[in-house]
Structure 1
Amino acid sequence: MQDGRQDWDATHDVIVVGSGAGAMTGALVAAGDGLDTVVLERTALLGGTSAYSGAACWLPGTQVQERAGLGDSTEAADTYLRALTGDAEAHRRTAFLRHAPELVSRLERDPAIEFEWRAFPDYVAAPGRMDAGRSFVPLDLDPELLGALLPLVRPAVDRDRAGRGHPAGAPLTAGRALIGRLLLAATRTGNALVRTEHHVTALVTEDGRVTGVEARTPHGTVRIRARRGVLLAAGGFEGDDALRTAHGVPGGAARTMAPRGTNTGELLRAALAAGAATGLMGEAWWCPGTELPDSSAAFTLGLRGGLMVDGSGRRFANESLPYDRMGRAIAAGGGGPDAAVHLIFDSREGGALPAITVPSADPADHLAAGTWVRAESLPELAALIGVPAGILADTVGRFNGFATAGTDEDHHRGEDPYDLFFADRKNAPGPNPCLVPLDRPPYYAARVVLADLGTKGGLRTDADARVLDVDSRPLAGLYAAGNTSASFTGDVYPGPGVPIGTAMVFASPAVRHMAGPPADAV
């Protein structure tokens, strides 16, 4: 909104909209540089989808990998990314790789920030790949260190959706540890203020420059001024079905992993009104989703057994693919993005799903709701899920033959380091631990749908995370990072923690650019 009035409710150097890993990194860097910083979060809890995550940070060539003796380097990561994405976004790829080691060094100088490398393979076989992985995670965080800040951190997804807080006395792990550590470090600077229940709905511009925001709060609408700039880092538009439809993003808001009722596109609309350009608007960070009894979906990865069939009763992909690639396979080869496929498994694990799902659900609840079915024979199972009995029997028989021989002649399951990462060798009687025969009735079928971890299209930005207009010129005072911006990785998901790692990195040069001479000061 264009508005030259000066009736501001508050003024800060930097406004950060959002509270995920990218937003909180930007707030910490800005506050650490002495800038008066405010974080505006639309909900009562901090962390967004980052708090639900495993908190893998794909930040190559840093001191964390060096401590682990991995032999990783910026050059190897550059080779890998170029092989996957080409040179369409060379300037941002170069900026990301150059700044990642510097950012991690800076973060770890703060006693509140501690990382460790954890094995998790890069996702694609290409030059420069690290088969053992190059991502790292935060150490668990003692809740007593957060003190009164603890209730601000969003709990794990299963507890959050049930309206429960953190388990009493338990350390914060994964995404909660990452958000908690960044929050602790930022508040200790004395320069960072966090405002929850501040739902930013509009940008304020003056003479072509973004100078502030307008936000709805429980006490009415407020206008907050930014002397230096506004960083938008509050996720994508995955929670808005109208925007998804308009831009051809399949799936649906009910199947996204973002916290419910969030990421509904207001920031995108506000930036478009200010003249911003967008890119990759039809893309998302895809994943298979086990359909839950309430028609939402659970992020599904790490299959230890079973096989997946489409509506014809046939396999259509390597079920052990990294989740983004398996999501794309569901959309392309599983009957279309709106079709359900089925994960077929037996009773080898006592009727439990041979995979990781987030959030989890009780098998009894699934069976009662019909999202899973159970049968004593494969023909009976085929009838329950509506596929030809003969084809399903042939599919399972062929797969069991592969399990005995150790080679998946159709989809090469078990030939990649990522496939083997989740394999349960104790349950695999044959030579390939990714190929576990289905031969222990009763049999089960779980309905699987196309889900996502968030959209990956959004505002176009440059190497300093400045939002660009339709003529590729920076919009003064406006910056974006994370899923609010269009990812430089295009339609590729290179490795675990790329969304978090890129969000963290680009939030940092954004506030570093803001720290230069201000266009005007109040």
Structure 2
Amino acid sequence: MPDTEAVDVVDVVVVGSGAAALTGAYTAAARGLRVLVLEKTGHLGGTSAYSGATIWLPGNGVLRRAGVPDTVEDGLRYLRHTVGDRTPAAQQEAYVRTGPELVEFLERDPDVEFEVLPFPDYFDAPGRGLPTGRGICPLPLRGDRLGDRLGLLRPTIAADQFGKRVTRSTLFGGQSLVGRLLLALDRTGGAEIRTGTALHSLAVTDGRVRGVRVGPDGSARVDARVGVLVAAGGYEGDPARRRELHGLPGADWTSAAPGSNTGDALAALQAVGAEVDLLDEAWWCPATLFPNGRAAFTLGLHGGIFVDPDGRRFGNESLPYDRMGHLLHDRIRRHGPGTAFWWVFDSRTPSVPGICQPLPDPDEFRAAGLWRSAGTARELAAAIGVPPTALHETVERFNGFAASGTDADFHRGEDDYDRFFATGTGPNPALVALEQGPLHAVRIVLGDLGTKGGARIDPCGRVLATDGRAIPGLYAAGNSAASVAGHVYPGPGVPLGSGMVFAYRAAVAMSEAAHAAARPVG
């Protein structure tokens, strides 16, 4: 591509506006660098704005103030046991050891406040936190604090994807996290944010990334004197990549906002020689399929069972969502991308339990064929197209487990996480018999909270080339970088926590490089 005239020159360009991107932008601006944040869509916050905003950073000061006996060493031991050697030990250590430093830095701004959010870690491994976990989250934030920025903040997923009316007088979860980071960033006076500005490609001169080209044809250029941080999400919105890399029918079931995270950043990184990893992975989750073709993250199972096309259970339905997602993915590989899964529950369960987003309207779901009901398991099996005898036997066997309190097949209810959401009154609160008719079945699909493959980075967020060397001037974080968690999801808030840490470390590295270059020689 012929060179273009730079329309702007700044110290740091940050591509994306989720929690990782804004953490990097705020860190760089707070350390005296001039920052430009570029957001492809018309809203700020990315998928982070949809999230519950749990952040996994072991041993941080918020936990200590709340009396939670957690340590960095325990957190690192837990991460090493769960992730293993799938990602570099130095990267794992940088993530966990930097967490408390990041929290302390962020809390210096009066608008960034956190509290403990009870939520167990996802594996029974050495170093695991207490049964209530080690997560933190932002305090709620008054919406009017954001002024005009409130209109630019991406709406909640209920409003954005499912048309529900959601008031934002008070912001919670990811809405609060993004809002607080925006307030902190604005206070620095050293940053500008532009929406509706898509990354086209990275500008490279003499082997160094020196800026970005933006716009549909890349005809405009922004120069970055110090570096470019790409934290623009993954490729979950790209149907072709989802079919090729994940074996899914398309990209409609992801939690990402429609039209976002279509892999532009990944393509730009690969075009300059970045080594990529974990492209076959995502932050998986079971999701309830809605009549509009989208799917809502389903969390916190109170009752019922999952069955596959064979009419059989295939795992512990109370597993952490990514682990259940991997089981769903395994079944898709076996049966094909059109595999239909169903959540079977009885009438003691009001509506559909465990929906993280808007509760479905049964009449709308029935009209779309996504909710079926029948008096018996055999009749329900005929309605959802699974073998009647198999579903009958599956329900009877599960009811026996509920009576005894022991799931002999998949050990549901034996782990702290299983019991965290359980509300049953029998010997095992995670096992609730399906015996109050009619029985119901709701369609479940494999969803995700974003992809986790991207550019390989070093402990300071520098993007690595295929020969293992850092590409000068180029950094990545969040879902634009290959996750430090490898093939697993260790605990609630690892995507946000790791993304924010490596964006912070990237910004610190850039500011140190800038200050070193400014010092006189001799």
- 2:194 equivalent in structure 1: 195
The reply to whether residue 511 of structure 1 matches residue 507 of structure 2 is yes
1:441 aligns with 2:437: yes
Q: 2:243–2:249: 8 Å Cα contact kept in structure 1?
A: no
The answer to whether the 8 Å contact 1:331/1:337 transfers is: no
Q: Residue 344 of structure 1 corresponds to which residue in structure 2?
A: 344
Structure 1 residues 206 and 440: alpha-carbon distance in aligned structure 2, compared to 1, 3 A threshold: same
Q: In the alignment, which residue of structure 1 is the partner of 2:453?
A: 457
Residue number in structure 1 paired with 2:144: 144
Task: Indicate the residue corresponding to 1:235 in structure 2.
Answer: 233
Establish whether residue 273 from structure 1 lines up as the match of residue 275 from structure 2.
no
Quick check: 1:290–1:300 contact (8 Å CA) kept in 2?
yes
Deviation per residue, 1:452-504 (Å, 9 max, x gap): 11110110110110001000101111100010000111101000010000000
Contact 2:83-2:490 within 8 A present in 1 as well = no
AA aligned opposite 2:204: T
Output the CA distance in 2 between the equivalents of 1:139 and 1:55: 10
Mark the CA change 1:476 to 1:249 in structure 2 (over 3 Å): closer, same or farther: farther
Instruction: Tell me which residue corresponds to 1:321.
Output: 319
Match of 1:392 in 2: 391
Distance 1:249 1:234 in 2: 23
1:288-324 CA-partner distances (Å, limit 9, x unpaired): 1111112221111110000111111111100000000
Aligned match of 2:12: 14
**1:336–1:466 Cα change, 3 Å:** farther
* 8 Å CA contact 2:22, 2:181 repeated in 1: yes
Superposed, which structure 2 residues align to 1:280-319 within 5 Å? Answer: 280-319=278-317
Q: How far did 1:143 drift?
A: 1.3
CA RMSD of the aligned region, Å?
Answer: 1.8
Partner amino acid, structure 2, of 1:24: L
Greater than 6 Å deviation, 4+ residue runs: none
Hey, what's the Cα distance between the residues in 2 that align with 1:98 and 1:344?
Answer: 43
Q: Secondary structure at the match of 2:482?
A: coil
| CA 1:373–1:65: 2 relative to 1, 3 Å | same
Amino acid at match of 1:97: V
Contact 1:23 1:507 in 2 (8 A): yes
d(CA) in 2 for partners of 1:457, 1:280: 4
CA contact (8 A) 2:17 2:232 kept: yes
Q: 1:377, CA displacement in angstroms?
A: 2.1
Which of 497, 502, 507 aligns to 2:498? It is 502
Alignment match, 2:360? 361
- Retained in 2: the 8 A contact 1:249–1:284? no
The separation in 1 between residues aligned to 2:100 and 2:136, in whole angstroms, is 13
One-letter amino acid matched to 2:17? S
Give the whole-Å Cα distance in 1 for the aligned partners of 2:464 and 2:21. Answer: 19
> 1:141-188: CA deviations, max 9, x gaps?
0112111211111111011125678515x2000100000000011001
Task: Report the more deviating stretch, 502-511 or 157-166.
Answer: 157-166
Paired residues of 2:202 and 2:272 also in contact (CA < 8 A): yes
- Asked whether 1:55 is paired with 2:80, we answer no
Classify 1:165/1:200 alpha carbon distance in 2 versus 1 (closer, same or farther; 3 Å).
Answer: farther
TM (norm. structure 1) is: 0.95
Report % sequence identity: 52
User: Unpaired segments of 5 or more residues in structure 1?
Assistant: none
Match for residue 134 of structure 1?
134
- CA distance in structure 2 between the partners assigned to 1:388 and 1:98 by the alignment: 52
Amino acid paired to 2:449: L
| Match of residue 426 from structure 2 | 430
Q: CA deviation at 1:374?
A: 1.1
**C-alpha contact 1:2 1:205 (8 A) present in aligned 2:** no
The 1-side partners of 2:75 and 2:94 are apart by 13
8 Å CA contact 1:312, 1:388 repeated in 2: yes
Shift of 1:361: 2.4
Tell me how far apart the structure 1 counterparts of residues 454 and 167 of structure 2 sit (CA, whole Å).
35
